[in-house]
Copies of this chain bind each other. A is one copy, B any other.
Amino acid sequence: MADFGLLHDLFTPATSKIVLLVMDGLGGLPREVNGPTELEFANTPNLDRLASEGNLGLMTPVRAGIAPGSGPAHLALFGYDAVEYQIGRGVLESLGINFDLTPRDVAARGNFCTVDAEGSITDRRAGRIPTSKCIELVNKLRPITLPGIEVFVEPVQDYRFCLVLRGDGLNAHLDDTDPQRKAPPLPVTARVPEAQHTADLVNRWIAQAREILKNESPANALTLRGFAVDPGLPRFPDVYKLRSTCVAVYPMYKGVSKLVGMDIVQFEGGKPEDEFKAVADNWDKYDFFFVHIKYTDSRGEDGDFEAKAKVIEGVDAALPQLMTLKPDVLIVTGDHSTPSAMKGHSWHPLPVLLHAPGLTRRDECKAFGETEAIKGALGRFPATDLMQLALAYAKRLQKFGA
């Protein structure tokens, strides 16, 4: 974990700019023994030039051997101990749609689903209904009220929505209602006695929602999971003294950024060049830009080696546009590995590229890749060290001690 206390005493005024470019699930694996990974297979002349000028290293996301989800992986990148600070999916989803959570809120992620005549789930995603349908259904659920508390229902995307209860004494230690098999949705159960009142309220809400949805098709039921409260993380802009913003397309990543107190840039489009334009448009307003590229992870999850490489090539092609801004520190890495060979997240360490003109030593790395990174001057380090390094290379820290 980053040493917030130590940093607090060391900040020095600076105007430097830091860009943290995260290609989700960047780390990969070869298709054949001793072959290249997706990143190594991709044609990336711009990243390779930056690698040759700057330094590479390898970064462990959360712990040795642990494959993190996106939430913990990003918390680690931001310098937080992801095992100490665990965040529920409900909170991430709510924050991702710009819902303003308060400390009195319990949030859950909802899925519209399809149940058969016996009430058993036949499609956990209700045929992936479009977002427009999701909005329509959410609007039908909004009128449901519960005694003594406020209730918010908000659409997210496709079949996904958020449920937020706001009131005093609510408790998020509740089990998911998704049975994870062909069976009816479960009632909410309290994991601790203090959560029984909240469980009762949620079950009353579910009963009313079921009545409203029963004649819909295909989304005639719902499940709730990831009940959570805002864990009250130290605020990123405060602990690092950086005016900080997130440039991302997917709600989840905006959510985790908002959770740590970053601003969220609104922009049009979803391509790397759109995201880099959003950085340029906001260049003077911020010191730190977290730029998130989603599709490296998506293509890795699909198991499509060449498509993942293509996403990386797309980022590389747009990179000169970002470099015209001349960031003082550019870091390019991922949040975790998503090797297409595994079609999922893995524990493998992440290649890190750090470009900070005039401040990096020579190493033997000539291209950006996992194998080259073994020789990198940054060596091997935990993800939670990354922000301290970023501050250092941005000359935002003074000497510690006399």
A69 touches B36 (CB 8 A): no
Q: Contacts of A324 on B, CB cut-off 8 Å?
A: none
| Complex CA–CA separation, A342 to B356 (angstroms) | 13
Name the residue on B nearest A347 (C-beta).
Answer: B392
| Complex CA–CA separation, A71 to B402 (angstroms) | 6
Instruction: Report if A374 contacts B (CB, 8 A).
Output: yes
| Complex CA–CA separation, A118 to B194 (angstroms) | 68
A388 touches B65 (CB 8 A): yes
With contact pairs A65-B392, A376-B374, A385-B65 given, residues A71 and B401 touching in the complex (Cβ less than 8 Å): yes
| Complex CA–CA separation, A309 to B108 (angstroms) | 61
Instruction: Report if A308 contacts B (CB, 8 A).
Output: no
Q: Which of B349, B363, B402 touches A374 (beta carbons < 8 Å)?
A: B363
Mark each residue of chain A from 367 to 402: 1 if its CB lies under 8 Å from any CB of chain B, else 0. 000110011110111000100111111000111111
B358 touches A364 (CB 8 A): no
For chain A, the count of residues having a C-beta within 8 Å of the partner chain is 71
Instruction: Report if A233 contacts B (CB, 8 A).
Output: no
Minimum CB–CB distance from A355 to chain B (whole Å) comes to 11
Residue from the set A10, A29, A364, A374 with the largest chain B CB neighbour count within 10 Å? A374
Instruction: Report if A83 contacts B (CB, 8 A).
Output: yes
| Complex CA–CA separation, A380 to B370 (angstroms) | 16
Copies assembled: 2
Mark each residue of chain A from 315 to 356: 1 if its CB lies under 8 Å from any CB of chain B, else 0. 000000000000000000000000001101111110000000
Instruction: Report if A192 contacts B (CB, 8 A).
Output: no
| Complex CA–CA separation, A377 to B381 (angstroms) | 13
Instruction: Report if A155 contacts B (CB, 8 A).
Output: no
B67 touches A400 (CB 8 A): yes
Q: Which of B35, B63, B87, B390 touches A362 (beta carbons < 8 Å)?
A: B35
B361 touches A371 (CB 8 A): yes
| Complex CA–CA separation, A183 to B300 (angstroms) | 63
Instruction: Report if A272 contacts B (CB, 8 A).
Output: no
Instruction: Report if A46 contacts B (CB, 8 A).
Output: no
Mark each residue of chain A from 32 to 45: 1 if its CB lies under 8 Å from any CB of chain B, else 0. 01111100100000
Minimum CB–CB distance from A370 to chain B (whole Å) comes to 5
Interface residues of A in 89-135 (CB under 8 A from B): 89, 92
Residue from the set A87, A377, A391 with the largest chain B CB neighbour count within 10 Å? A377
Instruction: Report if A177 contacts B (CB, 8 A).
Output: no
A66 touches B375 (CB 8 A): no
A66 touches B397 (CB 8 A): yes
Instruction: Report if A70 contacts B (CB, 8 A).
Output: yes
B348 touches A391 (CB 8 A): no
Q: Which of B65, B69, B341, B391 touches A389 (beta carbons < 8 Å)?
A: B65
| Complex CA–CA separation, A342 to B374 (angstroms) | 27
With contact pairs A29-B361, A379-B58 given, residues A68 and B371 touching in the complex (Cβ less than 8 Å): no
Instruction: Report if A72 contacts B (CB, 8 A).
Output: yes
Q: Contacts of A388 on B, CB cut-off 8 Å?
A: 63-66
Interface residues of A (CB under 8 A from B): 3, 6, 10, 29-30, 33-37, 40, 52-53, 58, 62-72, 82-83, 86-89, 92, 226, 341-342, 344-349, 357-364, 370-371, 374-377, 379-381, 385, 388-393, 397-402
A-B CB contact pairs (8 Å), 24 listed: A37-B361, A62-B400, A65-B390, A65-B392, A66-B397, A67-B400, A68-B401, A69-B399, A69-B400, A69-B401, A70-B402, A71-B401, A82-B400, A86-B401, A88-B402, A342-B359, A347-B397, A363-B371, A364-B371, A370-B377, A374-B375, A374-B376, A374-B377, A374-B379
Closest CB pairs A-B (n = 10): A65-B388, A65-B392, A64-B385, A69-B401, A72-B401, A379-B380, A89-B402, A347-B392, A65-B389, A69-B402
